[in-house]
Amino acid sequence: MIESELVTRWKDEARIKAKREPLLAILRAKFAPLPAEIEWRIYRSADPAELHRWLLATATAVTQEAFSQAAGLCNPNEDLVVDGLVVKEWKDAASLEAKRDPLLTMLRAKFAPLPAGIERCIYRSMDPAELDRWLLATATAATLETYRQDTGL
């Protein structure tokens, strides 16, 4: 049986979550409150090996700083970035998700079932203006074929 890309992605996300959640629980228990940058780096990681390495680092770390250094989450010679680049990354990611969610909801409601290629393109897009154009095209397209022609998806 051939798995769909969506099922494969869900399984991968479940594997990541299975590593991420215990890591965060242990870190919060040992070093509460956990700095936002460390939490964000853990949520952002999609590499099971990296998450496993970080989990192992929690076993030997006595302090939060020792964990950060052992896990390679920060350079010990520089301060953690909370108000600069990390916050911008959070806002950018949140902005893209805020645009993807209604777009996918409308497409699924209007043209279900969606071809996997359309969802893949939407998740890969990092351009907020492009996502806005695709959302507006959803409102005017009568068929999925028309939508694909209008958007190039």
Cα–Cα distance, 73 to 44 (Å, whole number)? 12
70 and 124 together in one domain: no
The residue whose two tokens read 């999609």 is 46
72 and 10 together in one domain: yes
Q: Is the pLDDT of residue 115 over 70?
A: yes
* Amino acid code (one letter) for 7: V
What pLDDT, in 10s, does the model give residues 64-108?
Answer: 888 887 787 764 444 444 445 556 677 777 788 888 888 888 898
Residue with more model confidence, 37 or 118: 118
Domain boundary among 79, 111, 133: 79
Confidence of residue 145 (pLDDT cuts 50, 70, 90): very high
73 and 12 together in one domain: yes
Domains identified in the chain, total number: 2
What pLDDT, in 10s, does the model give residues 43-55?
Answer: 888 888 888 888 8
What pLDDT, in 10s, does the model give residues 25-42?
Answer: 888 888 888 887 788 888
Hey, how many other C-beta atoms are within 10 angstroms of the C-beta on 59? 9
Domain that holds residue 92: 86-151
